[in-house]
Each structure stands twice: as C-alpha cells, then as structure tokens.
Amino acid sequence: MKNNLSNIKKAIKYLDKNQCIAIPTETVYGLAANAYSSVATEKIYKLKKRPKKNPLIVHYFDLELLKKDCEINDLFLKLYKKYSPGPISYILKLKKNSLISKNVTNKKNTLAVRFPKHRLTRNLLKRLNYPLAAPSANISTKISPVSKKDVKEEFGKKIRLILDGGQSRIGVESTIINLINKPQVLRLGGIPKEKIKKYLNSHLAYKKKSVVKSPGQEKTHYSPYIKLRLNIKNPNIHEAYVLIRKRKKISSNYFYLSKNNNLKEAAKNLYKTLRLIKKKKYKSIAVEKIPNVGFGEVINDRLKRASNFK
C-alpha cells in the first residue's frame, strides 16, 4: 500500500505536468492524461498513432466532477447506480461550459465517460481535480494491453510511468452505451448487453455499424496482424489453435482461453493469448467455435475485427 501511495504521488506529478502515464483498469490498461488539457491529450493521439477524428473516453471518480461536464438524466443514474464503478461507458451530452478539451471530443457535443473500478486507479482519480482521458494503452488497431508488461511492449520507453495493477480482471473493454436518445449499445464489452437489457426491462438496440465513427467500431481492431480463422474444427498442424474446451490430446500449438467452456474466463485470457501466439511467431491462428452468447459474443466480436486486416 505504501508503495502504491508513492506511485500514485509520482503519477500525479506527471499528470499535473501534462504528461501521459498508463493506468490499470479492470477492463484493459489505459493511456491517461488530463482531460481538461489540450497539451496533455494531444500526446495521447501521438503516442497511440490514433486518428484525431476518434474521440477519447474520460474517466471520473464519481458524479461530482462529471456533473460540471455533462448533462445527466434518469436513465444514466439508473445504470450508474447498478453498474458503476465498473466495465461500462456512457455517451452523454457535453455541457456548453464544460472544461473538457476539444481534443477529447473531436468537437462533438457528446462525451464518453467511465468510472473504472480498479482500486489503484480509483485512488488516483480521487486525488485529482480533473478527470482522465484514457483510451486503451495500445497502438491504434493493435491488441489492447491487460498488464504492465503489455503496455511496455506497446510503447517501450515512450511513456515514463506505468502504474502496475496486475492483470486486468475482465480483460476486454467496457460496454459502451449511448444515452443521448434511446439507449443503444455501441460496443459490446465487460457487461453483456443481455444483462443490461434485462435490468432496464426494455428494448436495447445494438448497432454493429454505429453511426458514430469510432475505432472500436472499425472493421480492423484488436489485431495481432496474423491470419485468423474462426469456427475451426480441424486446425493445421503449424497453426496456433485457440480453445475453450479441454481436449484429450496434448499439443504444443493448443492455446486454452478456458478449459471448461467458461466464457468469462475466456474473455479475460483473450488478449493475453493473442499476444503470446504472436510472440511465438505463428503465421496463422485457428479458433474453435465459441458460442455467441454473453462474453462469447464479446469474444467473437473482437476476433472478427482482429481477423479483418490487409
């Protein structure tokens, strides 16, 4: 804890100086900077090689600062009470007098906001008087990081501080829900959309092709840039085979996301496994059929985008 506190103090020092640092969250690690500063947020786009047209998610501790930046409505409060802090992001209307940098929103009048649950990052947010813009800490379109080591692999010495919060517990990004008009899921993620739908007891739209252009909605994303085939029963011998059910046969090219068909566990292990396969220099990946329900739907969404590259 003492060590954490001194690291948090170091983090504040960097952030106050408009530097980027990496922070752990329960979904994936984020590349964070002061969301009120154009200088700081500019650095995020540069480091990530992210197109400016793609707005950033902003992380808050609680509603206190948020209320200064965004209009909040009853539906938001209902979801906030149930799921935040946690793996869900909300698209809200930006207030005209908000301090959020124009860099963050790409001059839109909406803002993606999230309240991460990871203890270390909550400790940090609590001590800041500004929220943190923090997209996933990976180079644009590549695999998201779920540990300090992964972030290092992405950016090397280009970022000065990575807060170490262990492996991300959820392992896939937050579910994004647009609350501007009728609620609509823009990205599948850490809270399966069926759960949210049940809780709201109403129709919840999910548009695979969102009207809002965002990297999570692009065809290529989360990609190891290795040929990837889905729903495969019989892999080739030189191919990495990604599995969710234990096999009798033991083979060095088998990579288990889970051994007992546990889809939540599989989601947690997804990015870590793709990174490992890349490191082992496989030229091709085959994935066994993954049921398209709950976290399985999230895994399939990410794998489809990961397989889509030229």
| Interface with Mg ion (CB under 5 A) | 136
Distance of alpha carbon 257 from the chain centroid: 18
Report which of 231, 229, 310, 292 is spatially closest to residue 240, judged by C-alpha positions: 229
Residue 134 binds: one of Mg ion, ligand TXA, none (C-beta under 5 to 8 A by kind): ligand TXA
57 or 65: CB nearest Mg ion: 57
Residue 266 binds: one of Mg ion, ligand TXA, none (C-beta under 5 to 8 A by kind): none
Taking the complex as a whole, how short is the minimal distance between the CB of residue 286 and ligand TXA, in angstroms? 27
Distance of alpha carbon 272 from the chain centroid: 14
| SS3 call for 196 | helix
7 or 141: CB nearest Mg ion: 141
Do the beta carbons of residue 136 and residue 105 sit within 8 Å? no
Residue 174 binds: one of Mg ion, ligand TXA, none (C-beta under 5 to 8 A by kind): ligand TXA
b/e 250-279 (16+ beta carbons within 10 angstroms → b): eeebebbbbeeeebbbbbbbbbbbbbebbe
112 or 286: CB nearest ligand TXA: 112
222 or 241: CB nearest ligand TXA: 222
Do the beta carbons of residue 56 and residue 33 sit within 8 Å? no
Residue 8 binds: one of Mg ion, ligand TXA, none (C-beta under 5 to 8 A by kind): none
Taking the complex as a whole, how short is the minimal distance between the CB of residue 106 and ligand TXA, in angstroms? 8
Taking the complex as a whole, how short is the minimal distance between the CB of residue 26 and ligand TXA, in angstroms? 8
Q: Can you point out the beta strands (E) in the chain?
A: 21-23, 30-34, 57-59, 70-71, 88-94, 110-114, 132-133, 175-178, 184-187, 205-206, 227-229, 240-243, 254-256, 284-287
Taking the complex as a whole, how short is the minimal distance between the CB of residue 41 and ligand TXA, in angstroms? 12
15 or 112: CB nearest ligand TXA: 112
Residue 148 binds: one of Mg ion, ligand TXA, none (C-beta under 5 to 8 A by kind): none
- Distance CA(216)–CA(260), nearest Å, equals 29
- Nearest residue to the partner ligand TXA, using Cβ: 214
- Nearest residue to the partner Mg ion, using Cβ: 136
Residue 25 binds: one of ligand TXA, Mg ion, none (C-beta under 5 to 8 A by kind): ligand TXA
228 or 298: CB nearest ligand TXA: 298
Q: How far is CA 284 from CA 140, 181, 279, 298, 306, in A?
A: 22, 42, 12, 21, 12
Taking the complex as a whole, how short is the minimal distance between the CB of residue 114 and ligand TXA, in angstroms? 5
Structure tokens, 85? 């802090």
Taking the complex as a whole, how short is the minimal distance between the CB of residue 30 and ligand TXA, in angstroms? 3
134 or 290: CB nearest ligand TXA: 134
Task: Provide DSSP, 245-302.
Answer: B--SS--TTEEES-SB--HHHHHHHHHHHHHHHHHTT-SEEEE----SSTHHHHHHHH
Per DSSP bridges, beta strands 21-23 and 57-59 are unpaired
By CB under 6 A, name the binding residues for ligand TXA. Answer: 25, 27-28, 30, 54-57, 89, 91, 108, 110-112, 114, 116, 134-136, 173-174, 176, 186, 212, 214-216
